[in-house]
Amino acid sequence: MKVTPKKRLGQHFLTDESVAEQIVASLKAGNRHVLEVGPGMGVLTKYLLQQPDLDFSVVELDSESVEYLKVHYPALAPRIMEADFLTLKLDELYQDNLTIIGNFPYNISTQIMFKMLEYKSLVTELVGMFQKEVAERIASAPGSKQYGILSVLVQAFYDVEYLFTVSEHQFFPPPQVKSAVIRVTKNPTKQLHCDENLFKQVVKAAFNQRRKTIRNSLKMYNFVDGFSTSPLFNLRPEQLSVEQFEDICAHIIK
């Protein structure tokens, strides 16, 4: 029994066992609740099942993959959720310290990161395969061309490590691009020093006009007296750290 990769689901099955082992080995010790997103034919699943202390489940949208997993990994059957990860209410399934892992479908990888942020009080770690360009964007530091909205919003609450690059030839069917594995670990920040919704709006407004200085891209906002003379307003968004974006938001008059 085989699973046919489905383009509409963005399926590219990892075929290199050593890469699968590396990904599972990248999980930090001590995390007990692990949810694999999109296991496909179980290339990661088999190594996760070898970790006896894990509270391990999978969520898979493709019914053909679900049947494959039930046949090849019968012990996993009660822990298979046939569902769309993006619609799961994670706080109804887990109480704390959740790790998300997977070879993520490229067509929803950014949405997976926003889902993680939605449940940031619950999700302490994410280890996953992304399109290399997206992985670089998430992990990029201020000053780089890849640094953008996703970089800032994720790094406000998580530490990001770019672990390794994966060739397109290590998948079936091979994607058109290289891939990369990153590890995202919750940092100590529980709450920003400004309104979180405003923070998101400001970051998006700034990067939507990333060639302009902050003075021009955020001119729709009013700031407390004197703050608009700050040197920050002469910078472009890719030059600002998370903390500097927080500082700007904290000085906006609502």
Instruction: Tell me if 2 is assigned to some domain.
Output: no
User: What are the CB-based long-range contacts (under 8 Å, 24+) for 191-200?
Assistant: 192/156, 192/246, 192/249, 193/246, 193/247, 193/250, 194/246, 194/249, 194/250, 194/252, 195/249, 195/254, 198/249, 198/252, 198/254, 199/156, 199/245, 199/246, 199/249, 200/153
Q: Which residue has the higher pLDDT, 240 or 53?
A: 240
Same domain, 133 and 236: no
Assigned domain for 232 exists: yes
Q: What is the pLDDT of residues 198-251, one digit of tens each?
A: 999 999 999 999 999 999 999 999 999 989 899 999 999 999 999 999 999 999
Residue 66 confidence class, pLDDT cut points 50, 70, 90:
very high
Residue 31: pLDDT over 70: no
100 with 206, same domain: the answer is: no
**Final residue belonging to a domain, choices 186, 206, 226:** 186
Q: By residue range, what is the domain housing residue 144?
A: 7-186
Q: What's the CATH number where 240 sits?
A: 1.10.8.100
Check whether residue 106 and residue 18 sit in a common domain: yes
Q: Which of 134, 152, 186 is the last residue of a domain?
A: 186
Domain count across the chain: 2
Residue 120 covered by a domain: yes
The CATH number given to whatever domain includes residue 144 is 3.40.50.150
